[in-house]
A and B are shown apart, each in its own frame.
Chain A
Amino acid sequence: MKKMWQLLWKDYRLNRGLMVLGVLGLIGVYLVGLATETTYTWPALPGSKVWADAILSYGHMALGVMPFIAALLGGNAIACERADRSAHFLAYLPPTKAQILSSKFIVIACALGILGSGNLLMIYVIAPLLSPDSENFLYMLGSPSAALAGCILTLGIGWLGSAYFEKPTIPVLAALTSPVVLSFGLFALAAVCGISKFEVAEWSGSVAFSIGIAAFFLGTWNYFHRVEP
């Protein structure tokens, strides 16, 4: 158990910078939103209904940031230790590949879980507490299920790239662009097959989810079957 804790501690330290960046990104969305709302009523401060609407709306926008945080964490997961060759140091030590990979996954899952929960807390608890009839005026942006599908897609693609590449740059870029590529791909497919865009949008979440899961398992498989660190 002690060795698992050491691996978790190491992976937390390796990802700490990205986690802080993620927190700042999420807080940034809220701060920008709240600052925007404040400018409308300045010098008076907005009422609780406006605060509630802002938190609800920008909370949904912040959900849209979550896949990008997942992309950073996924793309960085394995390749960051190859980039500075510390993967070689770890390879000479006796932890199993399953322990090494589990630790990485647990740290990323916990980080995303905490950030996501914080966001959902703002949307579903704080905003209704401030005003029970709060509204999302940025209604077109984000939903928890879309954010979850996006997170799984970017995390899976990042993880897969990270398992193959020696540096995290390409995996992170691939993961960051994967939602855009998937959207274009699906809409192009819809245009070719004559399917309605709304229909495509309906099952795009399932496609993203499936691709993300498949990419995650493919990356894991590659890591287990690779002899070199």
Chain B
Amino acid sequence: MIQAIPNAPAVELIGVSKRYGLATVIDNVSLTIPRGTTLGLIGPNGAGKSTTIRMLMGILAPTVGRVRVLGIDVATDAVQIRRRIGYVPERHDIYPWMTLGEVIGFTRPFYETWDDSFCREMIDLFELDLRKKVKQLSKGMLVKLGLLLAVSHRPELLILDEPTTGLDPIVHEDFLDGVLRSICDGHCTVLFSSHNLGDIGRLADSVCILRQGRIMVQRGIEDLLASAKRVRAVLTDGHLPRWVPERTLWQQVQRREWLLTIDGFSPDVAEQIKAENPVESIEVFDLSLADLFRDYILGERAHR
């Protein structure tokens, strides 16, 4: 019996890399998710989000590094971990010939902590017909079933891998409602991978941006949004910027308009931009998470 480390973070990736031949999909990633928090994992397609999640689930072995979930090394006891986590994949591969009732009946005995009343509550919330076969379900219903199966045993860690892709707005709302219930009712840690930054902003405490297998940033969302600002400077005619602040994430010059996204912005930075560059005026704007994500990715791309 493998002993879990008490009070360990919900998720710990330590120097994890995953290579397929010469291709490096995950490159020396270290990530920690404290218990009881919600982390949004975002990144462009092919960033390595699903690979990271599959390593957490123990169905993909890292080439290098260690993966610990709920204090247990995934390589030594993935089964014990799976008893305590819930997982909603992007693609649902539930036995198509089973009815919903059969799927629930099949899944239930595998979890000692299965909560029948919560399961019933979710069935009612999602208006699921237990007599229907899985193959007859729409994409939205399938996602709802996936969430029901993932949360009915009251997991300590809930992993959502781009679950809302392609859902209509109503089902999308129902799904988020279900996730919120499972978060609010217990002390669940959530890892939420999504392209929908609105969902991340709504659910997550912190965000991790992944690009080409590397972590670009992992911070609290409020901290990140408070720290990063968009600056719009108007340059004097015929001049280009001479000095760029150190923590500029992204910049663009179009005619006289100079746009910058700066992390760790303060009024002093604005004063210094004015002092060091030929600018006529400066305006500062707050950014949305979507803007910030875009600027991180575009800025990184420009640096390469």
| Contact among B57, B96, B105, B110 with A84 in the assembled complex (CB-CB below 8 Å) | B96
Of B59, B83, B89, B94, which one neighbours A94 at CB under 8 angstroms? B83
The answer to the question of A106 belonging to the interface, with a C-beta cut-off of 8 Å to chain B, is no
With A94-B110, A227-B59, A229-B59 as contacts: A85 and B91 at CB distance below 8 Å: yes
CB within 8 Å of B: which A60-96 residues: 84-89, 91-96
User: In the complex the two chains form, is A10's CB within 8 Å of B95's CB?
Assistant: yes
A92 to B89, Cβ gap below 8 A? yes
Q: Which B83-105 residues have C-beta < 8 A from chain A?
A: 83, 87, 89, 91-98, 105
B57-113 CB contacts (< 8 Å) to partner A: 57-61, 79-80, 82-83, 87, 89, 91-98, 105-107, 109-111
Contact A89 B93 (CB under 8 A): yes
Q: How many chain B residues have a CB neighbour from A under 8 Å?
A: 25
Chief secondary structure at chain B's binding surface: loop
Task: Please tell me if A41 contacts chain B, counting CB pairs below 8 Å.
Answer: no
Interface bin, chain A: 20 to 34
Instruction: Decide if B106 touches A10 in the complex (CB within 8 Å).
Output: yes
Bitwise interface map of B from 130 to 159 toward A, beta carbon under 8 Å scored 1, else 0:
000000000000000000000000000000
Tell me whether A117 is interfacial, beta carbon within 8 Å. Answer: no
Please state if B93 and A86 are interface contacts (CB–CB under 8 Å): yes
Contact with A along B280-300 (1 / 0, CB 8 A): 000000000000000000000
State whether the Cβ of A145 lies closer than 8 Å to any Cβ in chain B.
no
Chain A residue at minimum C-beta to C-beta distance from B83:
A94
Tell me the nearest residue of chain B to A97, going by C-beta.
Answer: B79
Residue from A85, A93, A228 within 8 A of B60 (CB atoms): A228
Least CB separation from B106: chain A residue: A6
B87: chain A residues at CB < 8 Å are: 92
Please indicate the chain A residues that have their CB under 8 angstroms from the CB of B82 in the complex: 92-94
Q: Which 7 A-B pairs have the closest CB atoms?
A: A85-B93, A2-B109, A94-B82, A3-B109, A94-B83, A88-B93, A89-B93
A-B contact pairs, 7 of them (CB 8 A): A5-B109, A6-B105, A84-B96, A86-B96, A89-B94, A92-B57, A95-B79
Which A residues have a C-beta under 8 Å from some C-beta of B? 2-3, 5-6, 9-10, 13, 84-89, 91-96, 227-229
A-B contacts besides A84-B96, A88-B93, A94-B82, 20 pairs, CB < 8 Å: A5-B109, A6-B106, A6-B109, A10-B95, A10-B106, A84-B93, A86-B93, A86-B96, A87-B93, A88-B89, A89-B95, A91-B57, A91-B59, A93-B107, A94-B79, A94-B80, A94-B111, A95-B79, A228-B59, A229-B59
B residues engaging A (CB < 8 A)? 57-61, 79-80, 82-83, 87, 89, 91-98, 105-107, 109-111
